[in-house]
């Protein structure tokens, strides 16, 4: 391996990797260094409306595309039949994510089986017992639970559900309204609360809610999430805008963190 120009941290990481099984102290060093390697956030482009938008999102580096089923409010919902047709074209290595507002596990299972998505984003709460039912019925399907960040209670809620899902997504909705807001509000929330959630849970956390090219760098530097999720911030008149998307991605490229 040519190590010219490799940082000391990277060199030491490689050394620990090679000797991981031979030395318990090195094993500890390896795990510590793994957590400090500088990385860039994953990108999830949501509210995908068509095959063309899906291809555009993936072209600009999306590791996941969000496909919104029926919602009580907000933009971007499309029929399950169209979700299935788009999901069928998403290449390996990119997740097709069904956003569902259903709180009924049997209905969620049926939605996944109809659409064949690789991940489910639960935008409303479900009973804790529901996670086990979903796991049993849908092995290998990743579960993402949305936490609508409004007060300090959101931190407790995140810690409560984290053991049951693959990732959390922090958004700015309000499920307590008479007409629930479960995403797509275009509003930011208190990023200091989101940062506390990132620090509190041992699973990947995506940040959503009002992100756009003008605020994404500040959001990343404040929260340092595993990934970000964007819908309206890269759209014009409801249509995915390549100029906004390219600017959004370029801003992300300027940020790395441990």
Q: What is the tens place of the pLDDT at every residue in 214-236?
A: 999 999 999 999 999 999 999 99
Residue 220 lies in a domain: yes
Q: With contact defined as beta carbons under 8 Å apart, do 58 and 65 qualify? A: yes
- Tell me the average pLDDT across 80-94: 98
* Among 206, 211, 216, CA closest to 251: 216
CB atoms within 10 A of CB 7: 11
Return the residue matching tokens 């260094």: 33
Confidence class of residue 28 from pLDDT cuts 50, 70 and 90? very low
CB atoms within 10 A of CB 46: 28
- Tell me the average pLDDT across 66-90: 94
Q: With contact defined as beta carbons under 8 Å apart, do 251 and 60 qualify? A: no
- Domain range for 16 is 1-37
Residue 222 lies in a domain: yes
Residue 118 lies in a domain: yes
Return the residue matching tokens 């040519």: 2
Residues 66 and 8 in one domain: no
The structural domain count of the chain equals: 2
Confidence class of residue 258 from pLDDT cuts 50, 70 and 90? low
pLDDT score at 33: 45
d(CA 45, CA 232): 10
Residues 58 and 22 in one domain: no
Residues 115 and 91 in one domain: yes
Confidence class of residue 183 from pLDDT cuts 50, 70 and 90? confident
Confidence class of residue 139 from pLDDT cuts 50, 70 and 90? very high
Strands (E), 139-195: 142-148, 167-171
Confidence class of residue 41 from pLDDT cuts 50, 70 and 90? very high
The helices-and-strands tally (H runs, E runs) of the chain is 10, 10
CB atoms within 10 A of CB 68: 26
Residues 217 and 188 in one domain: yes
Return the residue matching tokens 């995140």: 158
Per the document, the length of the chain is 258
Residue 258 lies in a domain: no
Residues 168 and 242 in one domain: yes
Residues 126 and 191 in one domain: yes
pTM of the model: 0.83
Residues 23 and 43 in one domain: no
pLDDT > 70 in the chain, percent: 85
Q: What is the mean pLDDT of the chain?
A: 87
pLDDT score at 25: 53
Q: With contact defined as beta carbons under 8 Å apart, do 187 and 212 qualify? A: no
d(CA 193, CA 231): 21
Residue 96 lies in a domain: yes
Q: What is the tens place of the pLDDT at every residue in 195-217?
A: 999 999 999 999 999 999 999 99
CATH number at residue 69: 3.20.20.70
Residues 190 and 219 in one domain: yes
Residues 247 and 200 in one domain: yes
Is pLDDT of 8 > 50?
Answer: no
Report helix, strand or coil for 185: coil
pLDDT score at 173: 76
């Amino acid at each position: 391996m040519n190590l010219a120009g490799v940082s000391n941290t990277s060199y030491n990481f490689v050394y620990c990797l090679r000797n991981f099984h031979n030395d318990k102290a090195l094993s500890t060093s390896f795990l510590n260094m793994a957590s400090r390697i500088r990385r860039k956030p994953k990108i999830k482009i949501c509210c995908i409306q068509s095959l063309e938008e899906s291809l555009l999102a993936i072209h600009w580096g999306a590791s996941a595309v969000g496909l919104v089923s029926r919602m009580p409010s907000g933009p971007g919902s499309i029929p399950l039949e169209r979700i299935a047709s788009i999901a069928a074209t998403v290449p390996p290595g990119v997740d097709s994510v069904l956003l569902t507002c259903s709180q009924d596990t049997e209905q969620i299972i049926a939605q996944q089986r109809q659409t064949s998505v690789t991940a489910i984003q639960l935008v409303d709460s479900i009973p804790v017992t529901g996670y086990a039912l979903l796991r049993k019925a849908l092995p290998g399907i990743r579960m993402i639970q949305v936490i609508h960040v409004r007060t300090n209670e959101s931190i407790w809620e995140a810690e409560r559900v984290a053991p049951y899902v693959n990732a959390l997504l922090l958004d700015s909705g309000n499920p307590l309204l008479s007409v629930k807001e479960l995403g797509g509000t275009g509003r930011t929330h208190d990023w200091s609360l989101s940062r506390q959630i990132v620090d509190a849970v041992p699973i990947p956390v995506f940040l959503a809610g009002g992100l756009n090219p003008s605020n994404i760098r500040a959001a990343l530097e404040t929260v340092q999430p595993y990934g970000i999720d964007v819908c309206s911030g890269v759209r014009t008149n409801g249509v995915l805008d390549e100029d906004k998307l390219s600017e959004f991605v370029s801003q992300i490229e300027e940020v790395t963190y441990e």
